[in-house]
Structure 1
């Protein structure tokens, strides 16, 4: 078959952007996300507050607050929500951070530029609560990176994201991610890497799709970010990295 991106034919590129191919235990990880979020809610009793179009769970800091940790969930821009995404909260609350986990619109009900606009509103809503440390996983890392090219943050942590929309829009994801050429450029944070001024950390697992690894390595090269390679971790296991090990130590130092 004809190549459509680098050395990929259409089937190969579609597989490179389908995490189910690389993580056959995806369903078990998603169930763990939800169970660990339920446990975090039971232990920490976050407030569910409206930031405008949606609600945001705000988990309380333990001890004197050091700021806010805003986490943007993954889900290929079309799945999951704050019910699945509060599992990082206990580790950060214990370190003195309030943790904000917002819902936001999902594709294809809304378009990607609209989702970014919602998250800008969430950041503005959180500003009075202290310095904001931003993180995101998977499509949430993409959204966080876009925000980091537009707004100021105390730090930014991107886990297993995509940062160039060109190959995404050539893959099967184009069936629900619809962007003009101008929008695709604007929403490709690697093309605007010089605009990111916050301390930046990138992490990815060694067992992820080669395209996700390539995207992370390219973003690290473009930004000079501190990198954390997660041995033996697939895409879904990597989501826990900000709450443990070397990455968590760096984030809470």
Structure 2
């Protein structure tokens, strides 16, 4: 595949107009701000002693609640947790808490460090979540675009022991419109801020780490997503399903950006799938 074809397949900004992109990102922020107004929770918590990154907890109260760890997209270089809480009201109504996570952004933060920080956020939920109304035995991770890649980085094996976690700390997962084999990005426009070489891209590709049993997953992607994101979602589902329970969900009439907003609507296919992941969990 030529570099020009890789750019065409992975530059999802070209799949929507600039006006629609700007409006959707603003809706992330507006709806996130609106839905957390009045929700019980804890804001601006530092989760990682080795960085200054923060997270917010929304929708707590009463017994320990299962928790959705929400990871924002932005091609690893944009957006924040403040764009990523719009599902918290929907989940609160179902008795589920939301943890919206920040991570350092490229190019200032290397992708290895971004992955480590997201895993550290999961570790914080496990080790300290009970102090904030969260059930450490019922953690589901999900995210969109770059957040889909980072979600997959928490699904694979081999990292948990470094954080004092059980292998099954992530009980279920929903990567949405993610990238799982980032080797093509070495020859793409995205490497302007990622700065990857082939060896690092190999190590950072969850697609190459699917040889062990992992959490139940819904691999979601928008019908009108970028070519690369559609093909990688299908391939990751096929790879994950070889050892673990996996469902591929292609969301009709959605693009790379607005599909994530479906988690604000309780009757959407995406929300029903996420709630189904929680329904399958039991206390451990």
Q: Give the corresponding residue for 2:273.
A: 250
Mapping of residues 216-231 of structure 1, within 5 Å: 216-224=233-241, 225-231=246-252
- Secondary structure of 2:209 counterpart: helix
The structure 2 residue matched to 1:174, chosen from 188, 191, 201, is 191
What is the CA distance between 1:100 and its match in structure 2?
A: 0.4
Unaligned runs of 5+ in 2: 130-135, 161-167, 280-284
Of 123-132 and 229-238, more deviation after overlay is shown by 123-132
Q: Give the corresponding residue for 1:59.
A: 58
Q: Give the corresponding residue for 2:120.
A: 121
Mapping of residues 1-253 of structure 1, within 5 Å: 5=1, 9-24=2-17, 25-48=20-43, 49-52=45-48, 53-61=52-60, 64-128=63-127, 129=129, 130=136, 131-150=138-157, 151=160, 152=168, 153-224=170-241, 225-243=246-264, 244=266, 245-252=268-275, 253=279
What is the CA distance between 1:61 and its match in structure 2?
A: 3.3
What is the CA distance between 1:42 and its match in structure 2?
A: 1.4
Q: Distance in 1 between matches of 2:40 and 2:24?
A: 23
- TM-score (norm: length of structure 1): 0.91
Q: Distance in 2 between matches of 1:100 and 1:210?
A: 30
What is the CA distance between 1:123 and its match in structure 2?
A: 1.2
Q: Distance in 1 between matches of 2:249 and 2:263?
A: 10
> Would the aligned equivalents of 2:69 and 2:142 in 1 still touch at CA under 8 Å?
yes
- Check 1:138–1:196 CA distance in 2 against 1; reply closer, same or farther (3 A cut): farther
What is the CA distance between 1:238 and its match in structure 2?
A: 1.1
What is the CA distance between 1:196 and its match in structure 2?
A: 5.0
- After TM superposition, what 4+ stretches of structure 1 lie above 4 angstroms from structure 2? none
What is the Cα-based RMSD across aligned positions, in Å?
1.7
What is the CA distance between 1:96 and its match in structure 2?
A: 1.2
Query: After superposition, what is the alpha-carbon deviation per residue over 1:199-232, rounded to whole angstroms, capped at 9, x for unaligned?
Result: 0111111111111100111111111221111111
- TM-score (norm: length of structure 2): 0.82
Unaligned runs of 5+ in 1: none
> Would the aligned equivalents of 1:63 and 1:96 in 2 still touch at CA under 8 Å?
no
What is the CA distance between 1:190 and its match in structure 2?
A: 0.8
Of 177-186 and 118-127, more deviation after overlay is shown by 177-186
> Would the aligned equivalents of 2:220 and 2:248 in 1 still touch at CA under 8 Å?
yes
> Would the aligned equivalents of 1:134 and 1:157 in 2 still touch at CA under 8 Å?
yes
Q: Distance in 1 between matches of 2:96 and 2:213?
A: 23
> Would the aligned equivalents of 2:58 and 2:99 in 1 still touch at CA under 8 Å?
yes
What is the CA distance between 1:45 and its match in structure 2?
A: 4.9
